[in-house]
Structure 1
């Protein structure tokens, strides 16, 4: 028996798994490691049905697996991880399910801020991305607290998209960009023509600057679980040149090999993606 209460065989197995994991990451490091990986965490409810669990337990299993996936990504050398946690469309679900998800969100964020959590271990900076005013008050306040507490963390970043859709993000960005142009005119800026000030048109860089996701580079890899190949209104603006990987595993079942294959597929197409990004 080991000092931590595990059997010798369990301890040996864990050591072998960790050694293998490090070897895999060493091999992957020969090629380009993605800077930013995004996940559509699909399949929590189907996982619960498959294992005869409550919907809430399915989502709890998804949160536990998120911590494992983050560990793999950050140890591999990924700097930014983005996860699609809650769509604006999810507010249309049954009120009791939405309430349960809001409560789980508060519980999960609180756990992330505990001592010796993955956030503390890896120095993760947290961002909550989306139309946060749509969230229940306790969720919004907990998310804001988490962003404030982790604001000085520099090593890696976790972006959690909640109350989010790409359509909402783009509409919000366009509103802000137009407001900036009006402010520019009020201050005497713009193009002078026929005695009047004409505001400069909204440009791509204006829209990108005002995106919720402007705090991170565009994703290199998008992984959607459960075998689905839809983007479901997630990061539509940012993923025009992103490598897409769709393993069949449900989100709570997603493992190291699924992430590794996503990175391998990215490395295979890296020269093409690099050429596209520099066009």
Structure 2
């Protein structure tokens, strides 16, 4: 048996094993939305003496694996924290390298054989996209347009994003909307003039998806780092100690088991 045959056999066995495990997990309630904070790419590069940017490339492969596992399991929504607004403070060389890598990978998303098209995934880019350079922004827009008719699952990529920016954006849009309503009503007082929580949530970047059930942050960190602060009040935070490029199938299974174990408590919190 040559290397190619052994690789195919291993892939078939792995796929069969995953289906068996997913069948067991499906007996209980499954999460509909899992979010990932992909922490540790740079530390992985340093630990393995890789050149700058190689850790992020390995991390991209890990992301593709996690997406495949989630969509095989039937998780409808997956959100990834790809690039914070704070990351723009890094050196210009590193920022440009990351932007180049993002543009390359975004273009790959819309290829016919891509994972996104295999699983019928609609892609959204979430954040203050005006902060991106033109080529990356246009690539993101092309990917969103190209996948707009996909309806089996959703991938939300948070790029040039922070929760504080999202909340500020939402409040500003809510105020503008209410001001326009007031002008239409000729400045007459009306109970709809008051901005409600529902107004804020409707104008969030993340309004296209339900709140996450699980947030997985690698590197053992338990901070959210300005990610989905509004949406995460009743979700489970998992923080495996491995770096993002090291994340594997078992870490996803452990997170889902923890979610199922704590589901009663999580649902009770939502009701209070």
TM-score interval for Structure 1 and Structure 2 normalised by the shorter chain: over 0.9
Pick aligned residue for 2:56 from 51, 55, 59: 59
**Aligned ranges 1:70-219 → 2 under 5 Å:** 70-188=67-185, 192=189, 200-219=193-212
Where structure 2 has 5 or more consecutive residues not aligned to the other structure, the ranges are none
Q: Is the 8 A contact 1:189 1:199 kept in 2?
A: no
Number of equivalences: 272
Which structure's CA Rg is the greater one? 1
Question: Is 1:256 paired with 2:253?
Answer: no
2-structure distance, mates of 1:43, 1:190: 53
After superposition, what is the alpha-carbon deviation per residue over 1:89-137, rounded to whole angstroms, capped at 9, x for unaligned?
A: 0000000000000000000001111121101100110000000000011
The 3-state SS of whatever aligns with 1:162 is strand
CA RMSD of aligned residues (A): 1.5
2-structure distance, mates of 1:198, 1:204: 14
Q: Which residue of 1 aligns with 2:215?
A: 222
Question: Is 1:40 paired with 2:33?
Answer: no
Q: Which residue of 1 aligns with 2:4?
A: 6
Displacement of 1:21 in angstroms is 1.1
Displacement of 1:190 in angstroms is 7.3
2-structure distance, mates of 1:134, 1:263: 35
1-structure distance, mates of 2:71, 2:191: 48
Pick aligned residue for 2:24 from 24, 27, 40: 27
Where structure 1 has 5 or more consecutive residues not aligned to the other structure, the ranges are none
The 3-state SS of whatever aligns with 1:81 is strand
Displacement of 1:277 in angstroms is 2.1
The 3-state SS of whatever aligns with 2:195 is coil
Name whichever of 45-54 and 268-277 sits farther off: 268-277
